[in-house]
Structure 1
């Protein structure tokens, strides 16, 4: 399977990009893959015109599974789990819960976490900066019940690590250098628990090596 990933990034994007999600899932699922590197410009945009034929929006990641092209990280992660039969339950209701939590991470949490990253990057007088506190307050709506839930179970759907946990962990990484999670110790422990998995460590090391940056730069 081919996986389109970044081979160059401006420093402000190190460790935040969504190709990490796909690589982590492939490692957890034991799916061999060929990484194909995409250059990212200084403004965080990939401009290769040839790539538009593969991904309409020229976004990363994209997978090519023997000619079957799939984009969007959430769809890719669920596809890889279904294909391998790993990181997702066999029963319909169990799979629905994994899908539910994957969508929750992408639709309810990431739309408010990502603007905080941009706010800190662009400064308090930027449009994102002026709305930062509002985004933090909205996240509390989701983090408070998550904090309570994770006090009683290690992962989103219970005792088993699933592809939904990869999604949420990577979304949480978008605010890993902020103070936002400091009020939620169970969520912090959850993220640490997921990032201690050997597959994640292997992927992040390979990610840093491919970008040619020092070990730990994308932590």
Structure 2
């Protein structure tokens, strides 16, 4: 059996890595996992930046010698490579990109920053800083929740890479956020349940170790 041609550089707490790993799994693509010592500073070394990703970030997906970075761009690549999760029409493909851009700018960006500061940052930030970001999280969740009240998925009637992008951080344990999004936003909870029914779905700390 030939070796998988996809290798994902990740660390388990990275929701952006999880987006890509989940898309690979649900698309049925064999892949290797290469754990990165993010907390030990590996991605900030000159060696990492010169040989893996000049931006000093994960995820990085190696595909036949190419190194792809930025989760949104990687998801677009996977949709084009596999013909899965990319939308049924040109209009849907454009709508997928719209929601991925929203996710990267207003949804994941605030969720990830708030979770990082609340759970992993040492020393912990000032309480007012947390309150500021929590307000931004609440606003982003309200937009997504309202959209999902009348839509089964983010775009169209089937799962797309927009769903993987938007859900990237929401499957992490509620205690890492200090609130349970399934309880505070029932429409988001129902959407997450639909995603969990996908063949290949795994929770972050089951997919990554």
What's the TM-score bracket when you normalise by the shorter of the two chains? 0.7 to 0.9
Q: 1:171 aligns with which of 152, 169, 172?
A: 169
Q: Name whichever of 172-181 and 92-101 sits farther off.
A: 172-181
Residue from 4, 17, 21 that aligns with 2:8: 4
Matching residue of 1:194: 195
Q: Scaled by the length of structure 1, what TM-score is found?
A: 0.77
Distance (whole Å) between structure 2 residues aligned to residue 34 and residue 115 of structure 1:
28
RMSD of aligned residue pairs (Cα, Å): 2.8
Shift of 1:102: 1.2
How far 1:139 sits from its partner (Å)? 2.7
Spell out the pairing of 1:34-183 with structure 2 (5 A cutoff). Answer: 34-35=32-33, 37-40=34-37, 42-43=39-40, 45-46=42-43, 50-52=47-49, 53-121=51-119, 122=121, 126-127=125-126, 129-173=127-171, 176-177=174-175, 178-179=178-179, 181=181, 182-183=183-184
TM normalised by structure 2 equals 0.80
Cα shift at 1:72: 1.0
**Distance in 2 of aligned mates of 1:112 and 1:207:** 23
The whole-number CA distance in structure 2 between the counterparts of 1:169 and 1:62 is 19
Superposed CA deviations along residues 22-65 of structure 1, whole A, max 9, x for unmatched, are: 12111222333233x23315456545654331211342221222
Between the aligned partners of 2:32 and 2:84, the Cα distance in structure 1 is 20
Distance 2:174 2:114 in 1: 11
Structure 1 unmatched ranges of 5 or more:
209-219
Pairs aligned (count): 200
Aligned residue for 1:199, secondary structure, equals coil
Asked whether the 8 Å contact 2:8–2:21 carries over to 1, the reply is no
Deviation at 1:174, TM superposition (A): 5.8
Aligned partners of 2:66, 2:116: CA distance in 1, in Å?
33
